[in-house]
Amino acid sequence: MKYVFSLLFLMLFLACKTEKKEATPETKTEDATSGATNTKTLIYPEEKHFKSIKQITFGGDNAEAYWSFDDKQLVFQSNNKDWGVECDQMFLMNADETFYDKKPPMISTGLGRTTCAYFLPDNKSWVYGSTHLGGEECPPAPLRREGKYVWPIYPSYDIFVADLEGNITAQLTTEPGYDAEATVSPKGDKIVFTSMRTGDLELFTMNIDGTDVKQITYELGYDGGAFFSPDGSKLIFRSSRPKTEEEIKEYKDLLAEGLVQPTEMELYICNADGSDLRQLTNLGNANWSPFFHPSGEKILFSSNFESERGFPFNLYMIDIDGKNLTRITHSETFDAFPVFSNDGKKLIFSSNRNNGGGHDTNLFIAEWQD
């Protein structure tokens, strides 16, 4: 994620949405509702890295979509009320499907709240975070504090393994407190995740069976949403590290209530063992949902650093040495959660585009071109 911003982040920034009209995207005449192709490519004129785009969900908040290792399937989270869920649950789809007027199979338990699913190398199992051991109901979403947006860090989150029918086959974390945001190395040997087990939100790695847990980060602040590089040698993640006495006090006070404030975050990069840690961005506002370009030499991420009122969010790309910052998307809404297919040919991301001016966040698959 990698925590999904609970997609309440969308509502915060949608409330700040400007009245500026979006540029008109290029269109095609093919029919998306048939599930074969898309009505609109939804490629804005400046979006030169997208050869085509296909919208694959239509309604609710859909995000954090991740490819199976063979690129044939996708797992994602949604709170689509039409699918009978009250908060985020996990769904499975084939990568060539479109869910316009049908429901994909739910592969989480339907209990509690879930986040951050990711396929394991066998393409038959996956890991995810869930609060269901803490109660069958959706845990309550926190209210904004003194006008500030906050994320909940539910202590009942643990990381589980399940099969594609939704049967839980293993529990990987048992420590008290928050354990979530798990992603798997492309090498298929390691999982990186965020945990509160030390009293702060730090990154850890473990083997895919939950053994050999190692702490990766140690500095005060929220470290999360980590992903491995294509060769498994590096990690990219987001962090909201407080610096001043006032920032440190605010961070600790919120954390004591099980909350973090994600409106000021930068990207950090390190080796997979935590060495050679360095700050990658210094842009201000919220820089998050990073993912490695297939080359391993660039990072795609979402940011609102150019936004005067916190919105919109667009996708950007930057070299791993912090140079050559490039804007990738050019909408006036919300683009985030970019994830490349394992073959590097496609990019899936979440966007508010083509939602009729509403609040729905849908999944889009773009053919990528460098």
Residues in the chain: 370
Q: Which helix (H) or strand (E) holds 252?
A: helix 245-256
Query: How would you write the pLDDT of the chain (370 residues) with one tens digit per residue?
Result: 443 444 434 433 333 333 333 444 543 333 344 343 343 558 999 999 999 999 999 999 999 999 999 999 999 999 999 999 999 999 999 999 888 888 999 999 999 999 999 999 999 999 999 999 999 999 998 876 666 789 999 999 999 999 999 999 999 999 999 999 999 999 999 999 999 999 999 999 999 999 999 999 999 999 999 999 999 999 999 999 999 999 999 999 999 999 999 989 999 999 999 999 999 999 999 999 999 999 999 999 999 999 877 789 999 999 999 999 999 999 888 999 999 999 999 999 999 999 888 889 999 999 999 9
What stretch of H or E contains 366?
strand 362-368
What is the distance between the alpha carbons of residues 249 and 262, in angstroms, rounded to a whole number?
15
Structure tokens, 87: 């908060």
Q: Walk me through the domains of the chain, giving residue ranges and CATH numbers.
A: 65-328 (2.120.10.30)
The whole-angstrom separation of Cα 20 and Cα 362 is 21
Q: What does the buried/exposed string (b/e) look like for 328-345 if buried means 16 or more CB atoms within 10 Å of the residue's CB?
A: bbbbbbbbbbbbbbeeee
DSSP-derived pairing of the beta strands 234-240 and 266-271: antiparallel
